[in-house]
Each structure stands twice: as structure tokens, then as C-alpha cells.
Structure 1
Amino acid sequence: MTIEVDDVSPGGSPILVHSREKDFTPAQGESHIEEISAHIERHLGPISGVFHEIISDIVHIDVHVVPATDECPYLRLVTSGMSDLPMSVPDEVDAPRHMELMVTLPADWPITQDAFEDERNYWPVRLLKTLARLPHEYDTWLGFGHTIPNGHPSEPYAPGVGFDGAIVLPPVTTPDDFGTLALEDGTTIEFMAIVPLYPEEMDLKLKKDSETLLDRFDAKNIQDVIQPGRTNVAKKRFGLF
């Protein structure tokens, strides 16, 4: 997939898909991987493994795996490397410059190499890595409420998957202290969750706003856990949203 990014507004304007003009730039390595790993383990639990990139463009994105525990019945996937470079946040916007992303999955989500041969299992990892690299590839930024369609026109992430876009939100199924990591060099990293959306939910958010969508999520008790087949909160009923 090739992407060209329009400026993303504080309200979360869509990111359009066209073509990339930047040349391949090898990454220089992760600057804060040890501090990020320690932060993840301190707040979410032991890391059982890391999906390492073999070839990296601009930044080196790894994905840390935190299995479900008795305290947290979900599988966590958390990036490191996205925060090595600041995002291109406009000077007039008060938003984090350094960010890492996470997805939360059911505890039994298949994450073996063999399972990843099936895109229906691998797409959350692909989504994480794509969005973690996106701001640096296209000199843009991601922040609260920003929505990103999967292509132009958008298409499902995998066969049989109803989601064709995603929204960036603060994690709600993690301890409060997980969201921010202050590094010794003065850098502050914000950890944000990626929540996939149905086409109707993306339309609702763009026509209304993030708060309207999140109110619908709250009404249906939808959090940041990826649940294929979950309720579509913007599905038309009786001809109305």
C-alpha cells in the first residue's frame, strides 16, 4: 500500500492514500528500547517475545508481546522505535511529539509464525507497524481522535474482517501510569491505542466528531480490545444512525 498524507487536523482529518516520494532511508537503531521495555513490563507484565524487523525504513519498529495474565485477561502488542524521531506536529498544536502504539487482543489470539501466514491473524501486527512508521514517512503526526482508512478507497484489513480503518485513542484497559513515559534525556513518550473501525463508524466520526463515536462506544461498553464481529455502533437502524 502506498500513502500520501494530507495535513492531519486536531479533529482528526482522514489520511488520504496516494503515493510516497521519499527514498528508502535505513533506520539508525532504537534509542530507548531498554527504557520502553522496562516501562511495558512495569505496567503491563513480562514481555514474552519481540517481533523484530529485518529491514527498517527511517525508524526500526519492533513489536513487544505481553501475554494475558490473571490481572489482565488480554494480549498486548506494543511498539518501540516509533518514538526515536519526533512527529511533525504543527507548532501551534499542543500534542505529543513522541509516541508508541499498542493494540489489545483477546488472550487466545494466534501469534505464532505459522498463524501469521493467515492475514486474518496477522493484520493487527501489520496495522501497528504501518501506523508507527506513517508519521515519519510522510512528515505528519498522529494524535487523539485521528482516523486512518485502510487505503483509498478503504478496504478490509483481511478477508472476513469488517474493519477498514482505525482511530487513535488513549488506552483504557491499562493502568493509568502506562500512558506516559518520561525519559532521562527529557523526552516524553505517549502510548496510544489503535482501535479498528467499521466503515459506518468511520463515516460517523468524520460527519460528526470523535466524541459522538466515543459516546456510542461507551453506550455499548466497547473499549480498546480488538474483537472481530463486535457490535457496529454506527450501523443504521430504521433508516437512522
Structure 2
Amino acid sequence: MNKKGGKHRGLSDSLINVIFNSVAVNHRFFRGYESVVNILGSLSVVFTLSFLTFFFASGYIPPTLAPNISSPFEFALLIVGACVSLILHEVSHVIILANHGIRAKSMGISVTGIFGAYVQADMDLETYRKVKLPFYSCGVGSNLLIFLILFVLSDTIMPAITPAAAVSCWFLILNSIPAPLMDGGKIFESQLESMRIERYTTLISVSILMVWLLAVVYRFAIL
């Protein structure tokens, strides 16, 4: 167990070092990347809220997001899409930290409690407040970016990669839900703080849930 943990930590440290050094050398490029995924991250929460509201009201899921997996190749693409989404998500967190001169302490997969990946870093409260929004936005922003790329390719010249596009979208939706413990929740919280209306967080969250509930009631009422 210790040997495996040591190997994992060594791999994590090596990857973090590579990213940190790459950001230092190509600072302008990664600053541009941060700007793009930051915007996409904020849009991801809007996209997810809109998509879920539409789904609860109509019960409809676009075929692209529910492909028929009928072969080992398509299943493999599903797994590849999930892995790419996960890796890019966590690497983007490390990149944004490096952009702000912060070296991530560790990154990896958590199998205790809620299953998922993580990036850890040591910083004071003031620094955390400064990087909070870009840190959380970049993860889901990178997922929206990879989904858009895969979707365009699958809808034009590479329809075979539709399973990868689908799973990347669901990964995006899961992470950008404005709920506690999710990146979307932190983005939602940060946006409310920037507008100085964070005291209404609970009210706004309950209102969103009520809209979804009414959408479901409406859908079944017209059946």
C-alpha cells in the first residue's frame, strides 16, 4: 500500500511540476487559456440550469446526449471521453493555480466519501478569495470547451465519437450544477458575492428548485 501511494504521489508531483514549469515558460498562452475557460465556466452554470429546466419541463434529452452504445468500440469511446474530461478538468485547476503563482500541493482520485478527483493547494484566505472564481470556473469551463469541440466533430466529420461527446457533456452538467460540493456551487456562490447578494443564496437556490418542481408538475399536467 505504501509503495503504491508513493508511486501515485510521485506521479502527481511530477505532473504538477511539469504544469507549473510550463505555465512559467508560456505564461501568456495560459493566461489566455484562463480567460477563455473562465468565461466558459460561468456560461456552464447558465447552460446547466437552462438544460435541466428544459429537461424537467419537457422530459426530452437530445439524441446526441443519449447515444445508443451497441459495440465495444463505442463503449471504449465513452470511457475515453470520461477520462479526458476528468483529466482536463483537474489539470485546468492546476494551471489556474500556477497562473497565480501557486503550486498545487497534490492531485489525484478520491475513493473515500464522495468519489471524484481533487486538487489541493496551500493558501491564505485572501489568496483563496482572489483565485476562488477562476479556480472553480476553469474546471467546468474546460469541460464545456472539450464538449463543444467533440460535439462539432461528431456532428460534422466524425459521428463515431458521439459517445465521447455525450459523456463529456454529462460530466460538464454534473460538475456545474449549482449545488454544495460541486464546482458549479462555488461559481454560483462567487457570482452572488460579486453582486453583493450572497445573503440571498438560500432564497435563490430554493427558487430554482421550485421552478424545477413546477416544470415537472406542468409536464405531467399536460400529459
Question: Scaled by the length of structure 2, what TM-score is found?
Answer: 0.31
* Higher RCO (C-alpha under 8 Å, 6+ residues apart): 2
Flag the structure with higher strand content.
1
* TM-score relative to the length of structure 1: 0.29
Larger Cα-atom Rg:
2
